[in-house]
Amino acid sequence: MASAPDKRLLTATEFLEIDFGPDIKAELDNGIIRVIRMMAGGTARHSWIQINLGGMLWLGLKGSNCHAFGPDMAVIVNEYSVRYPDLSVYCGKDAVGFDDARAFRDPVLVVEILSPSTAMLDQGAKLEEYRSILSIESILLIDPKTESVRLLSRTGPQSWIDSVYNTGQDIHIPHLNIALPLAEIFAR
């Protein structure tokens, strides 16, 4: 009688050594590879929002020791999970020694731009994982459809303020000392 093979979970280190090529985007979810996109590219709207917000973060962080990274920079959530947020901010990673890094463990801000195919994951499992990373001070969930932004701001090790912006307000990120104009995030 044949027995089922033991399933070994992949570690974050092992996952980051895999070259999936240009056509596959995958994340590591509790030791299991999950393909999130088979072909490169998303919608024009998603891309505009990502570029708008990335530019605002770049400008707002200029001169500080914090920098915005795009969706190719991985967040190591724990030993068995690796995520690729749409944008992330890290502080103290501007030295030449970090130039070849493919992932960091200590973001201070992560941004997910919701899409119909990822909204449940982004607002569910990934949100809980991000909340577990003690370095994260803020999480932005951007909804292109409703042109609203959900900001989760850490107030303690396990406590958060959850705010929704859907009018012409500025979104203040106090730990980074920047304000993001809501209208500019969604500007065409």
Residue 2's pLDDT band, with cuts at 50, 70 and 90, is low
pLDDT band at 41; cut points 50, 70, 90: low
Between 23 and 120, name the one with better pLDDT.
Answer: 120
Structure tokens at 9: 């979970």
**Of 111, 136, 130, 115, the residue nearest 53 (C-alpha):** 111
In a domain, 172, yes or no: yes
3-state helix/strand/coil string of 159-172? EEEEEEECCCCEEE
Q: Return all residues near 188 (Cβ < 8 A) that are at least 6 apart.
A: 48
Confidence check: pLDDT of 168 > 90 = no
Q: Which domain does 140 fall in, by range?
A: 42-185
- Amino acid identity of 148? S
Residue 8: inside a domain: no
- Residue 136 sits in a domain whose CATH number is 3.90.1570.10
Number of domains the chain is built from: 1
Position 21 pLDDT exceeds 80: yes
* pLDDT tens digits for range 128-154: 999 999 999 999 999 999 999 999 999
Q: Cα(108)–Cα(2) distance, rounded to whole angstroms?
A: 49
Q: What is the pLDDT of residue 3?
A: 58
**In-domain check, residue 16:** no
Q: Are 114 and 143 in contact (CB under 8 A)?
A: yes
pLDDT tens-digit profile of 8-20? 899 999 999 998 8
